[in-house]
Amino acid sequence: MTGMHGSVTLHVDAPPELVWGLVSDVTNTGRFSPETFEAEWIDGATGPELGARFRGHVRRTGWTGKLGLTYWTKCTVVACVPGQEFTFVVGTPKRWATKWGYVLAPVAEGTDVTESFELHDDAGLRAYWKIAGAGRGKVNHDGMRRTLERVKAVAEAGSAGGAATPGGGPG
């Protein structure tokens, strides 16, 4: 990982539509993310679509987790292509701090899923990254890997006829 961004890719033995349904329904976030333990659609949004807003309840891990840092973020969906991509920014498209995304690539026997993050390039975030970037980058990388491993487990159970369903079914 270089700069103020990073990504992790993991293969999932399930079709892209199933995987996309899991990662694009933010009410699933608490099942998968090690930091965002709940999320809900807001401002009239009821599901993933371009411009939809949601809020996530975050409990930071890594060194900031030792401080008990817990807070809500408001996010906006900036890319929403079923079976292909789900990306959102923390903030609004004109004023954001971090961009998170999932890009899905169909391959033989399933889907390669890439989760990524990018910090907005401004002076304050460059200073933050200079001080805390190595540690925070590792926390993000490890968290993205854990998130994708959890998505993989649920998606593969659903693909094999298990109980996984997009939209928060058992898993």
pTM: 0.84
Asked if 2 and 142 touch (Cβ cutoff 8 Å), the reply is: no
CATH class of 5-159: alpha beta
Using alpha carbons, select from 134, 139, 123 the residue that is nearest to residue 62. 139
Q: Contacts from 86-91 at CB under 8 Å and sequence distance 24+?
A: 86/20, 86/23, 86/24, 86/48, 88/54
Is residue 169's pLDDT more than 50?
no
**pLDDT tens across 40-98, in order?**
999 999 999 999 999 999 887 655 556 667 889 999 999 999 999 999 999 999 988 88
Domain ranges for the chain = 5-159
